[in-house]
Amino acid sequence: MGARKVGKYEVGRTIGEGTFAEVKFAISTETGESVAMKVLAKSTILKHKMVHQIKREISIMKIVRHPNIVRLHEVQCGKLHVN
């Protein structure tokens, strides 16, 4: 895939992007499962004072279970990004 590794995921091409985040195609190196990885720049989160909003989104995504809504697998925080 020629991808970079983030945690247990091989991260590939960008499959979508919005104002505050990119969505990348990724594959779990443990299970081979394909996932969509949302990548947010910490600088953008801090600049736009979005910390509370991001924490709220994460807490909601942890409990939501619906066939038409993507499931949150995990949250990773690095020096520059939240994945």
Q: Is 16 exposed, middle or buried (0-12, 13-18, 19+ CB in 10 A)?
A: exposed
Binding residues: 47
Binding residues for ATP: 47
For Cα atoms 25, 67, 38, give the angle at the middle one, nearest 5 degrees.
25
